[in-house]
């Protein structure tokens, strides 16, 4: 009987994983479809910008090959393929559960990312302690909020939270084009459309299937992007 129950449970778990994987990959394939459409459109936008402003929209893009030259192949693979997807999912989508500890964790790592973008000396010994202090202050504001209040708040404001998550994730990637060219500032929102679309589908996966699935698909996306960039 014990063996039968274990076998049945394992079978149910396997079928559930397969079912969730199919849904996640369906969303990911839709994301890829929009990305291909955007890629063709970007060729036309680049031509327009070159014709009118004499610069390419990709002039300051820090591509994967440039990162490899700085960090080396394997360090770049770990950084882009695993470190950043996990860090970004914690920062931008973990807190969509509206659990206080998830919100607190997401807040800490979001500050970590932002401070890395703003601080020229990202390895400063004061960076993490300063973020920890801000996170502690933030905790003082939310620690006494009841779980029932959080549930009520999330039911009323989930759509706004999703939009905030997608926008933060997408527009953060404008930093990939630093230093920004003032002449073509209007182009940068277009350049992060792939991240906005990815953010939309990763948010759907996170809410419908769970946090680990959004992390897994994000890792898959970055690994495929890494492989394609070094292969071309």
pLDDT of the residue at 125: 66
Residue 25 to residues 22, 28, 209, 211: CA-CA distances in angstroms? 5, 5, 12, 15
Residue 124, SS3? coil
214 and 97 Cβ atoms separated by less than 8 Å: no
CB atoms inside a 10 Å sphere around CB 92: 27
- CA–CA separation, 129 vs 54, rounded Å? 44
- CA–CA separation, 13 vs 19, rounded Å? 10
Sequence-ordered list of residues with C-beta below 8 angstroms from that of 157, at least 6 positions apart, any chain:
none
DSSP assignments along 124-168, one per residue: -TTHHHHHHHHHHHHHHHHTTS-HHHHHHHHHHHHHHHHHHHHHH
- Quickly tell me which residue has 């759509």 as its tokens: 159
- CA–CA separation, 89 vs 202, rounded Å? 9
pLDDT of the residue at 38: 94
pLDDT of the residue at 151: 86
- Read off the pLDDT of residues 46-94 as tens digits, 9 standing for 90 and up: 999 999 988 888 877 767 777 777 778 888 899 999 999 999 999 999 9
pLDDT band at 26 (very low <50, low <70, confident <90, very high): very high
- Read off the pLDDT of residues 141-187 as tens digits, 9 standing for 90 and up: 998 888 888 889 988 999 999 999 999 999 999 988 888 888 889 99
Helices (H) and strands (E) in the chain, counts: 10, 0
Please determine, for residue 121, whether its predicted confidence score (pLDDT) is greater than 50: no
pLDDT band at 3 (very low <50, low <70, confident <90, very high): low
Please determine, for residue 225, whether its predicted confidence score (pLDDT) is greater than 70: yes
**Cα three-residue angle 58-63-66, rounded to 5 degrees:** 120
pLDDT of the residue at 123: 55
Mean residue pLDDT of the chain comes to 88
Q: What percent of the chain has pLDDT over 70?
A: 91
């Amino acid at each position: 009987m014990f063996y039968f129950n274990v076998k049945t449970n394992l079978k149910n778990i396997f079928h559930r994983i397969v079912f969730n994987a199919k849904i996640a990959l369906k969303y990911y394939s839709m994301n890829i479809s929009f990305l291909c459409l955007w890629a063709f459109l970007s060729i036309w936008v680049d031509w327009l910008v070159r014709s009118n402003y004499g610069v390419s929209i990709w002039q300051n893009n820090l591509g994967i090959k440039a990162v490899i030259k700085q960090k080396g192949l394997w360090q770049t693979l770990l950084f882009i393929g695993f470190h950043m997807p996990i860090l970004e999912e914690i920062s931008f989508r973990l807190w969509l559960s509206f659990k206080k500890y998830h919100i607190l964790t997401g807040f800490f790592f979001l500050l970590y990312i932002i401070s890395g973008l703003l601080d020229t000396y990202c390895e400063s010994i004061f960076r993490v302690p300063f973020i920890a202090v801000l996170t502690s202050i933030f905790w003082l504001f939310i620690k006494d909020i009841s779980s029932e209040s959080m549930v009520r708040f999330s039911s009323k404001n989930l759509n706004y939270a999703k939009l905030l998550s997608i926008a933060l994730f997408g527009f953060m990637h404008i930093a990939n084009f630093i230093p920004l060219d003032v002449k073509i500032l209007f182009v940068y929102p277009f350049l992060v459309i792939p991240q906005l679309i990815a953010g939309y589908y990763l948010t759907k996966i996170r809410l419908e299937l769970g946090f680990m699935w959004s992390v897994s698909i994000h890792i898959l996306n970055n690994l495929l992007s890494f492989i394609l960039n070094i292969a071309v």
